[in-house]
Chain A
Amino acid sequence: MHDSSTAAVHGEAQSEPHGHNPALLHHFAEPQQQRDAASLGMWIFLATEVMFFGGLFCAYLIYRLKYFGDFGAASKTLALNLGATNTAVLICSSLTVVLAIYGAQRAKRALMLGSLVLTIILGFAFLGIKTVEYKEKFEKHHVPGASFQFENVPIPGHPDQYANARHAQIFFSLYFVMTGLHALHMIIGIGFFVWLLIAAWKGRFTPDYYTPLEMGGLYWHFVDIVWIYLFPLLYLIDRHP
């Protein structure tokens, strides 16, 4: 490995300073260092993402406590079966991501490619179901703004009281911002996985080098976990049997 690094420090070679390992970038001494750097970088990025969504969860918490009953009433209008299906879809997609990495580790090309394709399909399935849900919300005038309507919806457990439309509107505002940003992350994730699929198709990943797959996997799992928190907070807060 040291022959390659000396070639690099003399700045001669943009052209293949690392004959033995094309995946090793010039400024790293060895593959392990490069892998560790990528992995730490991804984890730090995910910490950033946690804080990014954290602001929204904080806002949600405050208004949930402030407008408790109204949030319950608004939450009940969400399509539970669609949300639950989407949860299942995402959990399955996390499994296929793991299988893709396993395929790369064990040099099982068909498993790797097949799992990547399945992951992308499941990602699109999630977005498709989400679109159906959004459409339904538009039709029921549950989208915040001038046409928002939420009249005469009783507060769960208090049949004599109706939810305040403005406070319910805040629930739907948070619903759309949170699920919208989550969907945006899904779209970016699908793009990421299409790129991974192409790279895998070209044979870039071997049992020795599959760091991009691992990074894609970390990102995908993170986006799944966000949904795992969103689903109960948005859909399940007031579902008594």
Chain B
Amino acid sequence: MATANNPQPERTNYLNASYGPWSWLTTTDHKRIALLYLLSITFFFFIGGFFALLIRLELLTPQGDLVQADTYNKLFTMHGMVMVFFFLIPVVPAVLGNFLIPIMIGAKDLAFPRINLLSWYLYVVGGILILHCMLTGGVDTGWTFYTPFSTAYTNTKIIEAGLAAFVAGFSSIFTGLNFIVTIHRMRAPGMTWSRMPLFVWAHYATSIIQILGTPVVAITIVLVAAERLFHLGIFDPKLGGDPLLFQHLFWFYSHPAVYIMILPSMGVISELIACFSRKRIFGYNFVALSSIAIAVLGFLVWAHHMFVAGISVYAALIFSFLTYFVGVPSAIKVFNWTATLYKGSIRYDAPMLYAFGFLGLFTIGGLTGLFLACLGINVHVTDTYFVVAHFHYIMVGGVLMGYLGGMHFWWPKISGRMYPEGWARLSALIIFIGFNLTFFPQFILGYVGMPRRYYQYPPEFQVLNVLSTAGSTVLGIGYLLPMLYFLWSMRYGKPAPDNPWNAAGLEWKTTSPPPTFNFDEEPVVTWEAYNYEEIDTEHKEEVPVAR
């Protein structure tokens, strides 16, 4: 095992093993594929963010001045589609998961490296389709494609957008399949299930949702496309069909999809909190199994998106009850993280600041989710900005805080360079402030009755909307900063030692960046996960680390 703290620049690693675009486009190395994903996903994040800024700009004033209704409908639809299918769902699994899972379990690669590359190409094909769709007119149904509007009335490009989501969905399925097989079959000797990092557990749970949920939305998209092309009548009440069936099938995937987004970030947070409070995670088994519990329960709550759609009262009661139930494993995680912090030697490096941000934002998002699980409140705030604020707290606040925390934590491993710590802390702060300024006013707006998806609003809502728009600008700067200094650090950053955080986990026992097959010799695991107490007693004098 290499232990040099100043890596020789000429040492062969996965980045300099071969050069040229062809060596990247035909690579089967999971680490290179992760970087391909990083590039393409970041591209789509800024496209989706651009739509978001246009939406916020339009909402600066009560009148429709920047855009009119039709354009506005397309803006929020394309914002949702790009962010959900091309950013949030793949972001943590395809970038961090792809890079880290094989290393964390001591494997040379994922079980199916070529299918991994195929996943990326499918993502790109889906991405090109959605770009083409946007440039030639877009879609105006909202990202939910509700029937019969999407099948019988709108004249925008439903089929092309659906095809894009379909193809990207198969990218997601193949990633999940690859992870499950890898975790089952590729673990190094001694890497038992109870020694796996919680990051891997979280991705295992995510993959279960991906392989079981995504095909259902795929067939739903097929039916919508077929109905639109051939006027089948399956979802059209005029022809005897049932639009509620569409909503059931759609949310059967699209509700668990929220857990596809948040679970991997939760896995990141477990790693960060253990490392930066120098303790074994409190209640390892509970945190691990709560991921699986979220994946299972997540499949049983979809109809809480349909409380006002005309489902039976009894069904609504049951779905409301089950929705409260999802709060249990989520709370187990938050409480266990908090208990891990208790009496830990906490350090405030940038990744940990993101983890704290996650705790705050996810807790607000999760608790408002419980408000929404309550039938009475749900009916009151359905389709208002309260819902918008709630799911942005989870999907943007939670997921992105986890993702960025993980990117900072593992950037030394990925790039072999340290990022500038001061800037990183600043951007964590800016994102946290910007995020709350953007979305907290929306809770109030929703509660006092501002509906979502309108381009105009009564003047009394303007103050809160101005605050929200101002926050979105701050947030935008917060998201741009990491991209800039990560790029900067690739050339000018301090070379990273193999284990800059003195962290536990196999990924820190190989070099930074790792060699093509991850380890110079096959690792054998003889220690438990998060053995920080052992590490710190062994290396007391080494604890101060690179800044």
Contacts and interface: CB of A to CB of B under 8 A. Distances in A.
Interface string B191-230: 0000000000000000000011111101110110011001
A166 B515 contact: no
Nearest to B211: A48
B233 A170 contact: yes
Nearest to B108: A27
B522 A9 contact: yes
A6 to B, nearest CB: 7
Interface stretch (A101-109, A110-118, A173-181): A173-181
Interface stretch (A35-43, A82-90, A131-139, A203-211): A35-43
Contact of A48 (B186, B214, B242, B522): B214
Interface string A30-53: 000100110011001101110111
A174 B234 contact: yes
B249 interface: yes
A56 B112 CA distance: 29
A222 interface: no
A154 interface: no
Interface string B480-512: 000000000000000000000000000000000
Contacts of A174: 234
B308 interface: no
Contacts of A48: 173, 177, 211-212, 214-215
A142 interface: no
SS class, residues of chain A in contact with chain B? helix
Contacts of A45: 177
Contact of B113 (A27, A52, A56, A58): A27
B90 to A, nearest CB: 17
Nearest to A6: B521
A74 B298 CA distance: 38
A11 B517 contact: yes
Contacts of A11: 12, 17, 515-517
A36 B180 CA distance: 12
A5 B519 CA distance: 11
A101 B111 CA distance: 24
A48 B240 CA distance: 30
Contacts of B521: 6, 9
B185 interface: yes
A170 B241 contact: yes
B249 A58 contact: yes
A27 B233 CA distance: 50
B404 to A, nearest CB: 30
B325 to A, nearest CB: 22
B109 interface: yes
Interface string A161-179: 0001011011001100100
A239 to B, nearest CB: 24
Contacts of B328: none
Interface in B172-190: 173, 177-178, 180-182, 184-186
B240 A170 contact: yes
Nearest to B177: A44
A37 B232 CA distance: 41
Contacts of A145: 230-231
B219 A55 contact: yes
B173 A37 contact: no
B239 A166 contact: yes
Given A9-B519, A11-B12, A37-B111, A51 B212 contact: yes
A138 to B, nearest CB: 13
Contact of A55 (B216, B226, B520): B216
A54 B226 CA distance: 17
Nearest to B220: A55
A10 B240 CA distance: 64
B245 interface: yes
Nearest to A50: B215
A27 B109 contact: yes
B211 A47 contact: yes
A193 B516 CA distance: 34
Interface of B: 12, 17, 107-109, 111-113, 115, 173, 177-178, 180-182, 184-186, 211-216, 218-220, 222-223, 226-227, 230-234, 239-242, 245, 249, 515-522
7 contacts: A26-B109, A33-B185, A44-B211, A47-B211, A52-B219, A173-B232, A173-B234
Interface of A: 5-6, 8-11, 26-27, 29, 33, 36-37, 40-41, 44-45, 47-49, 51-56, 58-59, 62-63, 66-67, 144-146, 164, 166-167, 169-170, 173-174, 177, 181
Question: Which 10 A-B pairs rank lowest in CB-CB distance, beginning with the nearest?
Answer: A173-B232, A55-B219, A52-B215, A27-B108, A27-B109, A51-B215, A166-B240, A11-B516, A37-B111, A37-B185
